[in-house]
Amino acid sequence: MAHTPSRRPPKPARALPCGQKGQCNGKPPAHAPRRHRLSTFFMRGAFRMRFSYASGSRLSSPAEQCAKGTEEPACSAFPPAGFTCLRGLPGSPARGEIPAMTQPRSDPLPSAPPLQVPTFDFMRVEWRFLLFGVAMAFCSSLGQTFFISLFSSEIRSELGLSHGAFGTYYAIATTASAVTLLWLGKLADTMRVERLAFLVICCLCAAAMMFSQVNSVIALIGGLYLLRLFGQGMTTHTYTTAMARRYVAARGRALSLAQLGMNAAESIGPASVVALLSILDWRLLWMILPFLPLVGLLPFLRTLTQRTRYQDGGGLEGVRAAAAAAGIDDKADADIITIDSVNHWRRRAVLRDSRFWLGLVGLTMIPGFTVTGMLFHQIYLAELAGVSLASWAAMYVVYAACAVIGTLVAGQLVDRFTGRRVAAHMMLPITLACAALWLVEGQAGVFLFFVFFGFASGMPYSAVSATLAEMYGTRYLGEVKAIFLPLGVFSSALSPMVMGMLIDMGYGMGVLMGLNIALALLAQAGGAMMLGKPPRLAIS
């Protein structure tokens, strides 16, 4: 009798939380080892590059895997980072239907998410929404200090203003815009991103047109108020809030890539304006500038803001759908609501959180105070450093390059170590920049200053925006960010006046740089305390 080799009985298919079996149609499931999935991929001869943010599936996004059910399940015992299958929840879709959304998760002390998506693949797939962020960041330069200050000489000469008077009016307009943002920022929680962006861009263009007709102090304050409100304020608020909502695993890189629009504006804006002012009147130039966003951005808003299956954050619509699926009233008068184990904080709850006062206030205000003050008084700093204005201006190439590098590096670090850990240490470049300009003499000190100053200006945007989404959720991110944007705007309004008063009193480089170093170290200490401090507000 021939010997029949015994075979090990097959292991039973592992049941998944959503009720599916571990094997679907003979295909390896999403939780199978990567080598099996890769071998199947190449054997089938599919030469298409597909990826997902965490599960590593070869054909579908996690949302579609969860919806297919019978083909490629993603609802394993370890669901993809940043996704939660909604099947099984009250009001959730049945098997084979598209779920309401996949909801990003955030913990009170979130762990560092892995770098699941190569950056170039991420840019290749998400180039439309990333281009929207870049364009919005570029358009926000119309209300930024570095751009408005280029017209300071012409405005002061026509209206007969001194440096101090112009700085005071600028501070008044900026402070008023910061207060308005507390109310206007809530629109990001109620309006779709394309509609809000359309409204903001139209208002920004109208503000630029109005600024071209300034002929009195009252008109100057009104024009500056509108430029600061819809330029630095709402334009930045719109794209940073939308990107923080739509991405989880690649949130830091998305915010940092969008910030490249501001870096581009800082690189080409001053030289372009100086060249155009030599042949055009400044009023005519302000009448031409609004046509750039009107022609280059508004017609393409709907295309650029379309949702894709690789945006794992859900967005505003997704968070609302998840709340409805879970039977939660997200419009109720509650300080904190919990949607799929994610705590979403209202503004009044954030104001009672000790982490807000200990760390986030300083990390939000000090970078704006230092960067704006130094840019506003850069001619005086060049004189104190003992270099010519031409040599000082030539260093802006170094500044722009380091700002781009700092922005991209910050995005990678946020996705690897979380925004909280990056934000807690982002004051180090500011400290080194001020110390270099103070202690190192000559051109070498100026070079080191612009190197660290570029890193300092590129890091805060992505780090702070990602930190807010991690700590306070995304449902009310618009009204939460509306607290922090006014803080940054207010500090940028305060610094030209404070540093101008110190200059008028005769203080030199030591006092100016010492003040900025002390403030940076204070914010650094607060950020370190915030890093390991749990929320003090009880969550019911």
Instruction: Please give the structure tokens belonging to residue 406.
Output: 């700092």
Query: Superfamily assignment of 119-307+314-328+336-531 in CATH?
Result: MFS general substrate transporter like domains (1.20.1250.20)
Given a contact cutoff of 8 angstroms between Cβ atoms, the answer to whether 461 and 235 are in contact is no
For residue 145, report the phi and psi dihedrals to the nearest 5 degrees.
Answer: -65, -40
CA distance 313 to 193: 14
The predicted structure's pLDDT at residue 62: 41
The predicted structure's pLDDT at residue 56: 36
CA-based nearest residue to 430, from 384, 478, 504, 369:
369
Amino acid code (one letter) for 36 = H
Q: pLDDT of 249-275, one tens digit each?
A: 888 899 999 989 988 888 888 888 888
Instruction: Please give the structure tokens belonging to residue 95.
Output: 């098997």
Name 487's bridge partners: none
Given a contact cutoff of 8 angstroms between Cβ atoms, the answer to whether 175 and 213 are in contact is no
CA distance 495 to 375: 10
Distances (CA, A) of 146 to 73, 269, 329, 485: 51, 9, 44, 18
Instruction: Please give the structure tokens belonging to residue 519.
Output: 């403030």
What is the pTM assigned to this prediction? 0.69
For residue 129, report the phi and psi dihedrals to the nearest 5 degrees.
Answer: -70, -35
Give the residue extent of every domain in the chain: 16-102, 119-307+314-328+336-531
Alpha helices by DSSP H, listed for 395-476, are 396-417, 419-423, 428-439, 442-458, 460-472
CA distance 416 to 421: 10
Cα distance between the two ends of the chain: 72
The predicted structure's pLDDT at residue 378: 85
Contacting residues for 478 by C-beta, under 8 A, at least 6 apart = 185, 186, 187, 188, 189, 190, 237, 241
CA distance 182 to 479: 7
Distances (CA, A) of 274 to 207, 227, 521: 21, 20, 36
Low-confidence ranges of the chain (pLDDT < 50): 13-115, 537-540
The 3-state DSSP class for residue 29 equals: coil
CA distance 367 to 495: 11
CA distance 86 to 37: 25
The 3-state DSSP class for residue 344 equals: strand
CA distance 40 to 268: 49
Given a contact cutoff of 8 angstroms between Cβ atoms, the answer to whether 480 and 328 are in contact is no
Query: Other CB atoms closer than 10 Å to residue 264's CB: what's the count?
Result: 16
Q: pLDDT of 75-88, one tens digit each?
A: 333 333 333 333 33
Instruction: Please give the structure tokens belonging to residue 194.
Output: 């394309």
CA-based nearest residue to 143, from 239, 209, 208, 237:
208
CA distance 533 to 424: 12
